[in-house]
Amino acid sequence: MSNTHTLDALIQALRRLPGVGAKSAARMAFHLLQHDRAGAQVLSQALAQAAEQVQHCARCHTFTEAPVCATCLDPERDATRLCVVETPADQSALERTGAFRGLYFVLMGRLSPLDGVGPRDIGVQELLRRATDGVVQEVILATNFTSEGETTAHVVGEALRARGLRVTRLARGVPVGSELEYVDLGTIAHALADRR
Amino acid sequence: MSNTHTLDALIQALRRLPGVGAKSAARMAFHLLQHDRAGAQVLSQALAQAAEQVQHCARCHTFTEAPVCATCLDPERDATRLCVVETPADQSALERTGAFRGLYFVLMGRLSPLDGVGPRDIGVQELLRRATDGVVQEVILATNFTSEGETTAHVVGEALRARGLRVTRLARGVPVGSELEYVDLGTIAHALADRR
Protein backbone atom coordinates (compact mmCIF):
# COMPACT_ATOMS: atom_id res chain seq x y z
CA MET A 1 0.00 0.00 0.00
CA SER A 2 2.75 2.45 0.76
CA ASN A 3 6.41 3.19 1.00
CA THR A 4 6.40 3.60 4.77
CA HIS A 5 7.59 0.75 6.90
CA THR A 6 5.43 1.68 9.89
CA LEU A 7 2.26 1.64 7.80
CA ASP A 8 3.13 -1.69 6.16
CA ALA A 9 3.79 -3.17 9.60
CA LEU A 10 0.35 -1.98 10.77
CA ILE A 11 -1.35 -3.52 7.73
CA GLN A 12 0.46 -6.82 8.29
CA ALA A 13 -0.51 -6.80 11.97
CA LEU A 14 -4.18 -6.11 11.18
CA ARG A 15 -4.19 -9.18 8.92
CA ARG A 16 -3.70 -11.34 12.01
CA LEU A 17 -7.32 -10.57 12.92
CA PRO A 18 -9.67 -13.37 11.80
CA GLY A 19 -11.55 -12.55 8.59
CA VAL A 20 -9.30 -9.62 7.65
CA GLY A 21 -7.51 -9.84 4.29
CA ALA A 22 -5.04 -7.52 2.59
CA LYS A 23 -7.61 -5.03 1.30
CA SER A 24 -9.60 -4.85 4.55
CA ALA A 25 -6.40 -4.37 6.52
CA ALA A 26 -5.32 -1.49 4.24
CA ARG A 27 -8.78 0.07 4.55
CA MET A 28 -8.67 -0.22 8.36
CA ALA A 29 -5.19 1.31 8.55
CA PHE A 30 -6.24 4.16 6.26
CA HIS A 31 -9.36 4.82 8.31
CA LEU A 32 -7.52 4.88 11.64
CA LEU A 33 -4.66 7.09 10.43
CA GLN A 34 -6.78 9.48 8.40
CA HIS A 35 -9.93 9.73 10.52
CA ASP A 36 -9.43 8.17 13.96
CA ARG A 37 -5.92 8.36 15.43
CA ALA A 38 -7.46 8.46 18.89
CA GLY A 39 -9.14 5.14 18.05
CA ALA A 40 -5.77 3.67 17.06
CA GLN A 41 -4.33 4.68 20.44
CA VAL A 42 -7.35 3.33 22.34
CA LEU A 43 -7.20 0.02 20.46
CA SER A 44 -3.45 -0.22 21.00
CA GLN A 45 -3.84 0.16 24.76
CA ALA A 46 -6.86 -2.16 24.97
CA LEU A 47 -4.92 -4.89 23.14
CA ALA A 48 -1.84 -4.59 25.33
CA GLN A 49 -3.90 -4.55 28.50
CA ALA A 50 -6.07 -7.53 27.52
CA ALA A 51 -3.10 -9.61 26.33
CA GLU A 52 -1.38 -8.98 29.65
CA GLN A 53 -4.25 -9.17 32.15
CA VAL A 54 -6.88 -11.54 30.79
CA GLN A 55 -6.44 -15.11 32.01
CA HIS A 56 -8.63 -18.19 32.39
CA CYS A 57 -10.91 -18.82 35.37
CA ALA A 58 -9.50 -21.74 37.36
CA ARG A 59 -12.98 -23.24 37.76
CA CYS A 60 -14.83 -22.64 34.48
CA HIS A 61 -12.01 -21.64 32.07
CA THR A 62 -13.76 -18.48 30.82
CA PHE A 63 -11.81 -15.23 30.37
CA THR A 64 -11.34 -13.28 33.58
CA GLU A 65 -8.89 -10.91 35.23
CA ALA A 66 -9.11 -12.68 38.60
CA PRO A 67 -8.02 -16.25 39.43
CA VAL A 68 -11.70 -17.26 39.65
CA CYS A 69 -14.43 -15.43 37.70
CA ALA A 70 -17.31 -13.49 39.26
CA THR A 71 -19.91 -16.02 38.06
CA CYS A 72 -18.14 -18.96 39.71
CA LEU A 73 -17.81 -16.94 42.95
CA ASP A 74 -21.48 -15.86 43.01
CA PRO A 75 -23.10 -17.65 46.03
CA GLU A 76 -26.61 -17.04 44.63
CA ARG A 77 -26.06 -19.36 41.69
CA ASP A 78 -27.26 -22.97 41.66
CA ALA A 79 -24.07 -25.04 41.98
CA THR A 80 -25.92 -28.30 41.29
CA ARG A 81 -26.31 -27.43 37.58
CA LEU A 82 -23.32 -27.05 35.26
CA CYS A 83 -23.80 -25.78 31.71
CA VAL A 84 -21.07 -26.64 29.15
CA VAL A 85 -20.60 -24.09 26.35
CA GLU A 86 -18.00 -23.62 23.62
CA THR A 87 -17.12 -19.93 24.04
CA PRO A 88 -17.65 -16.92 26.33
CA ALA A 89 -19.93 -15.52 23.60
CA ASP A 90 -22.19 -18.58 23.91
CA GLN A 91 -22.15 -18.22 27.70
CA SER A 92 -23.15 -14.58 27.30
CA ALA A 93 -26.06 -15.54 25.01
CA LEU A 94 -27.35 -17.97 27.65
CA GLU A 95 -26.91 -15.38 30.42
CA ARG A 96 -28.93 -12.81 28.48
CA THR A 97 -31.92 -15.18 28.39
CA GLY A 98 -32.11 -14.97 32.20
CA ALA A 99 -33.35 -18.58 32.11
CA PHE A 100 -30.33 -20.25 33.69
CA ARG A 101 -29.04 -19.62 37.22
CA GLY A 102 -26.49 -22.45 37.45
CA LEU A 103 -22.76 -22.41 36.76
CA TYR A 104 -20.75 -22.86 33.57
CA PHE A 105 -17.81 -24.69 32.10
CA VAL A 106 -16.42 -22.97 29.00
CA LEU A 107 -14.54 -25.32 26.66
CA MET A 108 -12.88 -22.39 24.83
CA GLY A 109 -13.29 -24.33 21.61
CA ARG A 110 -14.78 -27.52 20.21
CA LEU A 111 -13.45 -30.90 19.19
CA SER A 112 -12.15 -30.65 15.66
CA PRO A 113 -9.78 -33.50 14.75
CA LEU A 114 -9.15 -32.05 11.27
CA ASP A 115 -7.85 -28.82 12.86
CA GLY A 116 -5.90 -30.79 15.45
CA VAL A 117 -8.18 -29.82 18.35
CA GLY A 118 -8.49 -32.81 20.69
CA PRO A 119 -10.01 -33.44 24.14
CA ARG A 120 -6.92 -32.02 25.85
CA ASP A 121 -7.28 -28.67 24.05
CA ILE A 122 -10.83 -28.12 25.30
CA GLY A 123 -10.04 -29.26 28.83
CA VAL A 124 -12.18 -32.42 28.99
CA GLN A 125 -10.18 -33.79 31.96
CA GLU A 126 -10.71 -30.54 33.88
CA LEU A 127 -14.43 -30.67 33.04
CA LEU A 128 -14.69 -34.24 34.37
CA ARG A 129 -12.93 -33.21 37.59
CA ARG A 130 -15.12 -30.10 37.89
CA ALA A 131 -18.35 -32.05 37.29
CA THR A 132 -17.51 -34.77 39.83
CA ASP A 133 -17.08 -32.36 42.75
CA GLY A 134 -20.01 -34.01 44.53
CA VAL A 135 -22.18 -30.90 44.23
CA VAL A 136 -23.00 -30.95 40.51
CA GLN A 137 -26.05 -33.12 39.80
CA GLU A 138 -26.83 -32.24 36.19
CA VAL A 139 -24.59 -31.26 33.30
CA ILE A 140 -26.36 -29.40 30.47
CA LEU A 141 -24.52 -29.67 27.15
CA ALA A 142 -25.01 -26.38 25.30
CA THR A 143 -22.41 -26.75 22.56
CA ASN A 144 -23.49 -25.52 19.13
CA PHE A 145 -25.75 -27.57 16.87
CA THR A 146 -23.05 -27.82 14.22
CA SER A 147 -21.35 -31.10 13.37
CA GLU A 148 -18.33 -30.18 15.51
CA GLY A 149 -20.53 -29.02 18.38
CA GLU A 150 -22.58 -32.24 18.21
CA THR A 151 -19.43 -34.37 18.19
CA THR A 152 -18.14 -32.47 21.20
CA ALA A 153 -21.44 -32.95 23.03
CA HIS A 154 -21.38 -36.67 22.23
CA VAL A 155 -17.81 -37.27 23.44
CA VAL A 156 -18.15 -35.11 26.55
CA GLY A 157 -21.59 -36.54 27.33
CA GLU A 158 -20.38 -40.16 27.17
CA ALA A 159 -17.49 -39.41 29.54
CA LEU A 160 -19.80 -37.65 32.01
CA ARG A 161 -22.44 -40.40 31.91
CA ALA A 162 -19.73 -43.01 32.54
CA ARG A 163 -19.09 -41.19 35.82
CA GLY A 164 -22.75 -41.49 36.79
CA LEU A 165 -23.75 -37.88 36.11
CA ARG A 166 -27.11 -36.83 34.72
CA VAL A 167 -26.42 -35.29 31.30
CA THR A 168 -28.93 -33.25 29.25
CA ARG A 169 -28.72 -31.40 25.94
CA LEU A 170 -30.41 -28.16 24.86
CA ALA A 171 -33.67 -28.95 23.04
CA ARG A 172 -33.69 -28.83 19.26
CA GLY A 173 -36.83 -27.44 17.67
CA VAL A 174 -38.52 -24.70 15.72
CA PRO A 175 -37.14 -21.22 16.58
CA VAL A 176 -39.53 -18.80 18.26
CA GLY A 177 -41.30 -16.54 15.75
CA SER A 178 -40.57 -18.68 12.70
CA GLU A 179 -43.01 -20.05 10.13
CA LEU A 180 -42.81 -23.80 9.45
CA GLU A 181 -42.67 -23.19 5.70
CA TYR A 182 -39.27 -21.56 6.07
CA VAL A 183 -37.74 -23.87 8.68
CA ASP A 184 -35.33 -26.55 7.43
CA LEU A 185 -36.68 -30.11 7.40
CA GLY A 186 -34.11 -31.53 9.83
CA THR A 187 -35.26 -29.02 12.45
CA ILE A 188 -38.93 -29.87 11.87
CA ALA A 189 -38.16 -33.59 12.15
CA HIS A 190 -36.41 -33.00 15.50
CA ALA A 191 -39.28 -30.81 16.72
CA LEU A 192 -41.73 -33.59 15.83
CA ALA A 193 -39.70 -36.30 17.58
CA ASP A 194 -39.24 -34.14 20.69
CA ARG A 195 -42.88 -32.89 20.81
CA ARG A 196 -44.31 -32.30 24.26
CA MET B 1 -19.66 -11.06 26.06
CA SER B 2 -18.08 -11.30 29.46
CA ASN B 3 -17.79 -10.07 32.97
CA THR B 4 -14.27 -8.73 32.57
CA HIS B 5 -13.79 -5.02 32.05
CA THR B 6 -10.52 -5.41 30.11
CA LEU B 7 -12.12 -7.76 27.60
CA ASP B 8 -15.17 -5.54 27.14
CA ALA B 9 -12.87 -2.56 26.55
CA LEU B 10 -11.00 -4.54 23.87
CA ILE B 11 -14.26 -5.50 22.13
CA GLN B 12 -15.43 -1.87 22.16
CA ALA B 13 -12.08 -0.70 20.79
CA LEU B 14 -12.16 -3.28 17.97
CA ARG B 15 -15.57 -1.91 16.94
CA ARG B 16 -13.86 1.34 15.95
CA LEU B 17 -12.40 -0.52 12.96
CA PRO B 18 -14.47 0.06 9.80
CA GLY B 19 -16.78 -2.85 8.97
CA VAL B 20 -16.46 -4.49 12.40
CA GLY B 21 -19.69 -4.98 14.37
CA ALA B 22 -20.33 -6.38 17.84
CA LYS B 23 -20.10 -10.05 16.85
CA SER B 24 -16.98 -9.67 14.69
CA ALA B 25 -15.29 -7.69 17.47
CA ALA B 26 -16.07 -10.42 20.01
CA ARG B 27 -14.79 -13.07 17.60
CA MET B 28 -11.56 -11.12 17.02
CA ALA B 29 -10.98 -10.61 20.75
CA PHE B 30 -11.63 -14.31 21.42
CA HIS B 31 -9.23 -15.34 18.65
CA LEU B 32 -6.42 -13.06 19.83
CA LEU B 33 -6.72 -13.98 23.51
CA GLN B 34 -7.24 -17.70 22.98
CA HIS B 35 -5.00 -18.40 20.02
CA ASP B 36 -2.70 -15.44 19.25
CA ARG B 37 -1.59 -13.34 22.23
CA ALA B 38 1.65 -12.57 20.41
CA GLY B 39 -0.48 -11.16 17.58
CA ALA B 40 -2.32 -8.92 20.05
CA GLN B 41 0.99 -7.53 21.27
CA VAL B 42 2.30 -7.04 17.74
CA LEU B 43 -0.87 -5.27 16.66
CA SER B 44 -0.84 -3.11 19.79
CA GLN B 45 2.69 -1.93 19.06
CA ALA B 46 2.06 -1.43 15.34
CA LEU B 47 -0.98 0.75 16.10
CA ALA B 48 0.85 2.90 18.65
CA GLN B 49 3.84 3.34 16.37
CA ALA B 50 1.79 4.20 13.28
CA ALA B 51 -0.46 6.63 15.17
CA GLU B 52 2.60 8.40 16.47
CA GLN B 53 4.96 8.35 13.50
CA VAL B 54 2.90 8.36 10.30
CA GLN B 55 2.31 11.86 8.93
CA HIS B 56 1.42 13.39 5.58
CA CYS B 57 3.96 14.15 2.85
CA ALA B 58 4.26 17.93 2.51
CA ARG B 59 4.21 17.68 -1.29
CA CYS B 60 1.74 14.90 -2.18
CA HIS B 61 -0.16 14.35 1.11
CA THR B 62 0.31 10.56 1.15
CA PHE B 63 1.26 8.77 4.38
CA THR B 64 4.96 8.91 5.19
CA GLU B 65 7.28 8.93 8.17
CA ALA B 66 9.49 11.69 6.71
CA PRO B 67 8.48 15.31 5.97
CA VAL B 68 8.52 14.47 2.22
CA CYS B 69 7.87 10.95 0.91
CA ALA B 70 10.36 8.82 -1.02
CA THR B 71 8.38 9.05 -4.26
CA CYS B 72 8.34 12.86 -4.24
CA LEU B 73 12.10 12.91 -3.52
CA ASP B 74 12.97 10.41 -6.30
CA PRO B 75 14.94 12.37 -8.95
CA GLU B 76 14.28 9.67 -11.57
CA ARG B 77 10.55 10.41 -11.70
CA ASP B 78 9.01 12.63 -14.36
CA ALA B 79 8.05 15.81 -12.50
CA THR B 80 6.09 17.18 -15.47
CA ARG B 81 3.25 14.69 -14.90
CA LEU B 82 1.13 14.74 -11.76
CA CYS B 83 -1.40 11.97 -11.09
CA VAL B 84 -4.28 12.75 -8.69
CA VAL B 85 -5.62 9.76 -6.73
CA GLU B 86 -8.05 9.36 -3.83
CA THR B 87 -6.05 7.14 -1.48
CA PRO B 88 -2.59 5.59 -0.94
CA ALA B 89 -4.17 2.25 -1.95
CA ASP B 90 -5.12 3.71 -5.35
CA GLN B 91 -1.61 5.13 -5.70
CA SER B 92 -0.22 1.69 -4.91
CA ALA B 93 -2.42 0.08 -7.59
CA LEU B 94 -1.10 2.52 -10.20
CA GLU B 95 2.49 1.97 -9.06
CA ARG B 96 2.12 -1.80 -9.42
CA THR B 97 1.22 -1.39 -13.11
CA GLY B 98 4.70 0.05 -13.71
CA ALA B 99 3.07 2.22 -16.42
CA PHE B 100 3.46 5.61 -14.72
CA ARG B 101 6.74 7.27 -13.81
CA GLY B 102 5.43 10.72 -12.86
CA LEU B 103 4.53 12.10 -9.42
CA TYR B 104 1.34 11.94 -7.38
CA PHE B 105 -1.04 14.03 -5.36
CA VAL B 106 -3.12 11.98 -2.93
CA LEU B 107 -6.42 13.63 -1.97
CA MET B 108 -6.83 11.33 1.07
CA GLY B 109 -10.53 11.20 0.31
CA ARG B 110 -13.11 12.34 -2.22
CA LEU B 111 -15.67 15.12 -2.40
CA SER B 112 -18.81 13.96 -0.63
CA PRO B 113 -21.11 16.84 0.33
CA LEU B 114 -23.57 14.48 2.04
CA ASP B 115 -20.81 13.29 4.39
CA GLY B 116 -19.58 16.85 4.87
CA VAL B 117 -16.38 16.34 2.86
CA GLY B 118 -15.66 19.54 0.93
CA PRO B 119 -12.74 20.84 -1.20
CA ARG B 120 -10.84 21.93 1.92
CA ASP B 121 -10.89 18.38 3.34
CA ILE B 122 -9.23 16.89 0.26
CA GLY B 123 -6.68 19.72 -0.06
CA VAL B 124 -7.82 21.22 -3.37
CA GLN B 125 -5.99 24.50 -2.64
CA GLU B 126 -2.77 22.60 -1.94
CA LEU B 127 -3.23 20.61 -5.16
CA LEU B 128 -3.67 23.84 -7.18
CA ARG B 129 -0.52 25.28 -5.60
CA ARG B 130 1.35 22.02 -6.23
CA ALA B 131 0.22 21.76 -9.86
CA THR B 132 1.15 25.37 -10.70
CA ASP B 133 4.80 25.02 -9.65
CA GLY B 134 5.88 25.75 -13.24
CA VAL B 135 7.19 22.19 -13.74
CA VAL B 136 3.96 20.20 -13.95
CA GLN B 137 2.59 20.18 -17.50
CA GLU B 138 -0.14 17.54 -17.29
CA VAL B 139 -2.43 16.53 -14.46
CA ILE B 140 -3.92 13.03 -14.78
CA LEU B 141 -7.13 12.60 -12.81
CA ALA B 142 -7.22 9.03 -11.49
CA THR B 143 -10.04 9.30 -8.96
CA ASN B 144 -12.41 6.34 -8.89
CA PHE B 145 -15.17 5.89 -11.46
CA THR B 146 -17.86 6.15 -8.80
CA SER B 147 -20.25 9.08 -8.63
CA GLU B 148 -18.19 10.70 -5.86
CA GLY B 149 -14.94 10.06 -7.71
CA GLU B 150 -16.39 11.53 -10.92
CA THR B 151 -17.66 14.61 -9.08
CA THR B 152 -14.22 15.07 -7.53
CA ALA B 153 -12.55 14.72 -10.93
CA HIS B 154 -14.97 17.27 -12.41
CA VAL B 155 -14.47 19.91 -9.69
CA VAL B 156 -10.71 19.47 -9.49
CA GLY B 157 -10.39 19.33 -13.28
CA GLU B 158 -12.29 22.61 -13.79
CA ALA B 159 -10.09 24.41 -11.26
CA LEU B 160 -6.91 23.08 -12.86
CA ARG B 161 -8.03 23.95 -16.42
CA ALA B 162 -8.90 27.48 -15.25
CA ARG B 163 -5.21 27.82 -14.36
CA GLY B 164 -4.15 26.82 -17.86
CA LEU B 165 -3.04 23.27 -17.07
CA ARG B 166 -3.52 20.29 -19.36
CA VAL B 167 -5.90 17.92 -17.59
CA THR B 168 -6.55 14.29 -18.59
CA ARG B 169 -8.65 11.47 -17.13
CA LEU B 170 -7.98 7.72 -17.01
CA ALA B 171 -9.71 6.04 -19.95
CA ARG B 172 -13.01 4.26 -19.36
CA GLY B 173 -13.52 1.04 -21.26
CA VAL B 174 -13.90 -2.70 -21.24
CA PRO B 175 -11.65 -4.36 -18.62
CA VAL B 176 -8.87 -6.58 -19.93
CA GLY B 177 -9.91 -10.26 -20.12
CA SER B 178 -13.66 -9.61 -19.95
CA GLU B 179 -16.38 -10.81 -22.31
CA LEU B 180 -18.72 -8.14 -23.70
CA GLU B 181 -21.77 -10.18 -22.73
CA TYR B 182 -20.95 -9.72 -19.05
CA VAL B 183 -19.82 -6.07 -19.11
CA ASP B 184 -22.35 -3.46 -17.98
CA LEU B 185 -23.93 -1.36 -20.72
CA GLY B 186 -22.61 1.99 -19.47
CA THR B 187 -19.06 0.70 -19.77
CA ILE B 188 -19.67 -0.62 -23.31
CA ALA B 189 -21.20 2.73 -24.31
CA HIS B 190 -18.12 4.55 -23.02
CA ALA B 191 -15.80 2.09 -24.76
CA LEU B 192 -17.68 2.71 -28.04
CA ALA B 193 -17.54 6.50 -27.68
CA ASP B 194 -13.83 6.44 -26.80
CA ARG B 195 -12.89 3.87 -29.47
CA ARG B 196 -9.45 4.29 -31.00
CA distances, A27 to each of A11, A106, B89, B93, B172 (Å): 9, 34, 8, 14, 25
Residues 100-159 of chain B with CB under 8 A from chain A are: 108-109
* Mean pLDDT over the full length of chain B: 93
Chain B closest-CA separation from residue A49 CA (Å): 7
User: Is the CB of residue A79 less than 8 Å away from at least one CB of chain B?
Assistant: no
Q: Determine the pLDDT at residue B54.
A: 95
Residues B49, A10: C-beta atoms closer than 8 Å: yes
Under DSSP, is residue B158 helix (H, G, I), strand (E, B) or coil?
helix
Closest residue, chain B, to A64 (C-alpha): B4
Chain A closest-CA separation from residue B195 CA (Å): 32
Q: Does the CA dihedral B134-B140-B144-B150 come out positive or negative? A: positive
Residues A88, B40: C-beta atoms closer than 8 Å: no
Closest residue, chain A, to B4 (C-alpha): A64
Q: What is the tens place of the pLDDT at every residue in A116-152? A: 999 999 999 999 999 999 999 999 999 999 999 999 9
CA distances, A103 to each of A111, A142, B146 (Å): 22, 12, 54
Q: Determine the pLDDT at residue B122.
A: 94
Residues A64, B10: C-beta atoms closer than 8 Å: no
Q: What is the tens place of the pLDDT at every residue in A8-66? A: 999 999 999 999 999 999 999 999 999 999 999 999 999 999 999 999 999 999 999 99
Residues A89, B1: C-beta atoms closer than 8 Å: yes
Q: What is the tens place of the pLDDT at every residue in B113-154? A: 999 999 999 999 999 999 999 999 999 999 999 999 999 999
Residues B1, A41: C-beta atoms closer than 8 Å: no
ipTM of this complex: 0.86
Q: Residue A181 CB: number of other CB atoms within 10 A?
A: 5
Q: What is the tens place of the pLDDT at every residue in B2-12? A: 457 899 999 99
Q: Determine the pLDDT at residue A194.
A: 84
Residue A1 has pLDDT above 80, yes or no: no
User: Is the CB of residue A97 less than 8 Å away from at least one CB of chain B?
Assistant: no
Q: Determine the pLDDT at residue B59.
A: 96
Q: What's the residue count for chain B?
A: 196
Percent of chain A with pLDDT over 90: 78
Q: Give the confidence band of B1 by pLDDT, cuts at 50, 70, 90.
A: very low
User: Is the CB of residue B53 less than 8 Å away from at least one CB of chain A?
Assistant: yes
